[in-house]
Amino acid sequence: MPSAVLHSEDRYRALVRNAPVGILYASVDGDCEYANPAMSEMAGQGVEELLGQGWRRAVHPDDRRGLWDHLVRAEETGERVSMEHRLVRPDGSEIVVLTHVSPVFDRSGRVTAYVGFTEDVSDRKTFEGRLRHQATHDALTGLPNRSLLVDRLDRLLIRRRSAGEVMLMFLDLDRFKQVNDVYGHSAGDELLKVVAERLKAAFREEDTIARFGGDEFVILAGDVVDEHAVHRLANRVVESLAEPIELSMTTASVSASVGVAVARPGDTAESLIRDADIAMYRAKSAGRDRFVVFDSQLRAHIDNLMALESDLERALEGEELEIHFQPKVATDSRTLVGVESLIRWRHPDRGLLLPAEFLPVAQEAGLMDEISDRVIRESCRQAAIWDAMGPPRRIHVSVNVSATELAGDMLFDRIVSAIVDFDLDPSLLCIEITEGMLVDDFGLSSLRIDALRQIGVRVALDDFGTGYSSLSYLSRLPVDEIKIDRSFVSKLAAGDGHPDAGRESRLVSAILGMAEIFALDVVAEGVETEEQFRVLADMGCPVVQGFLVAPALPHGNGFLEELVSGVPFELDAVSLMPSA
């Protein structure tokens, strides 16, 4: 044989013997005739043990049939085939390999053998599995995330045999924010891990416990047979969190507000999650540490809110939203000194609606900016009209703003725009805020308020006395006016028989004294009786507001126009006052 051919064969053998992938040569009957060292190392067996049918014993029993089918297909098609399968080593360990099998042809084109190239892909498969797990599980608790829960819920809804077999619970931890705020996020994370473990321990392995993010968890259970089972499972969630949780830094007591939804015909994963979420918020508003089942009554309530939202969008396009003005009168002269702007909705079917009946819907629907802008602009427009009339006293108009508005970036621009457009003296506009809004973020709130006061807008502190009032606190408040809360006024002049009458009187006196020290104007809210009016006047309260004088009235109301013109409010004429 020529030396060149021998040299070529030596190179070929060296390449095969030293190749980093396993190479195996077998006849069409599957008898191994050659295996290289890399193949021997992967299988954990000597080369001799792989020869003949020995290589088959290295393949995982569950994968042998599939691998043989691939060999047959390679023979039938004459093309290379590939498949992943497992090899089992003598010590019982397993690796995942990818094998490419190519047929070998004789000169007539008949398949006479196979050559297989095998590479160990265990590390890659482990990494891919880790990536898949990360994509479908929460990194902190290891629980399934929203994506995996929705996938399992979709499958469960398809497989269910009848309505009522699939139950979903949406829970939000109560007082979790306190743990985060006081002890830091590490304590919060530790708490979430314990909650996850408790929930897993309370339910079956086939049930899905998922973390939606933050302090929200969702539990998916199938085979729920009746209403009793629904309540039993929901109670299990509440009870699993009843015991205090030992953390590294403290012992935390948490509870959960739980919303429960049971699948009905036509439900989707999205609709079931939405219903459970709605029920959860109802549980939270009802006092927390409880569960609420989404039922026909709650569904009717939601349908009503959705209809109200649609009506509200229409109302904003038309003239159904009205600004009414509740008078504020001086106790010495009983003449009008200001009004508070309050929005009303004159619904074509439901009549006159108060803010509490539609503003929460507006908040959810993202309509508050438009409503706020309308209130501010209409208030400034009316204030400018009254001021142009030249009444005996200039009338200040007060507008309530929410915490969201105060924290946002649009309030200042909105107010400046209205003042400029209606050529209003800024000192005639007063913005009312609550103590709670300041406490949530005193620094940012103070900056927002200072900006308004610098252009001449007044700021009043509403519901004063119900929150964090103190001398040191009051000295730091960037406000011009305080409004004594109606809860104090209601007990004034209640008679000697009322246990709180004397105490409330002393509290009101103290508030008036503090206001005098810091040169703040004062308005007493909720004045409903002549006796309350007289007591407040005797105590030196300069301005009152309440149903004794008038409810909020639309502009053009005769009684309101009389007050605007300077006619004094008469105590004995209350019964003659026109209604809204």
For 513-569, write each residue's pLDDT tens digit: 988 988 999 999 999 999 999 999 999 999 999 999 999 999 889 999 999 999 998
For 227-250, write each residue's pLDDT tens digit: 888 899 999 998 999 899 999 888
> Which of 100, 126, 152 is where one domain is finished?
126
Let me know whether 90 and 160 are in one domain. no
> Which of 126, 159, 190 is where one domain is finished?
126
Q: What is the CATH number of the domain that holds 75?
A: 3.30.450.20
The predicted pLDDT at position 8 comes to 65
- Whether the model clears a pTM of 0.85, i.e. scores above it, the answer is no
Let me know whether 110 and 149 are in one domain. no
Split into its structural domains, the chain has a count of 3
Let me know whether 318 and 420 are in one domain. yes
Query: Within 10 Å of residue 74's Cβ, how many Cβ atoms?
Result: 22
Let me know whether 120 and 146 are in one domain. no
For 478-521, write each residue's pLDDT tens digit: 889 999 988 889 888 665 555 556 787 888 998 899 889 889 99
Q: What is the CATH number of the domain that holds 382?
A: 3.20.20.450
Let me know whether 274 and 343 are in one domain. no
576 belongs to a structural domain:
no
The predicted pLDDT at position 574 comes to 44
Q: Which residues contact 327 (CB under 8 A, 6 or more apart)?
A: 336, 338, 339, 545, 549, 550, 553, 560, 563, 569
Q: Which residues contact 87 (CB under 8 A, 6 or more apart)?
A: 42, 43, 44, 58, 59, 60, 94, 95, 97
The predicted pLDDT at position 580 comes to 44
The predicted pLDDT at position 469 comes to 54
- Residue 518, phi-psi category: left (phi > 0), alpha (psi -120 to 50), beta (remainder): alpha
Let me know whether 396 and 450 are in one domain. yes
For 292-308, write each residue's pLDDT tens digit: 999 888 888 788 878 88
Strand partners, 483: 523
Let me know whether 286 and 342 are in one domain. no
Domain that holds residue 395: 305-568
Mean pLDDT check: name the lowest of 127-141, 359-373, 439-453.
439-453
Let me know whether 207 and 120 are in one domain. no
Band of residue 397 on the pLDDT scale cut at 50, 70, 90: very high
Q: What is the CATH number of the domain that holds 284?
A: 3.30.70.270
> Which of 101, 126, 151 is where one domain is finished?
126
580 belongs to a structural domain:
no
Query: Within 10 Å of residue 215's Cβ, how many Cβ atoms?
Result: 21
Band of residue 575 on the pLDDT scale cut at 50, 70, 90: very low
Mean pLDDT, residues 571-579 = 47
574 belongs to a structural domain:
no
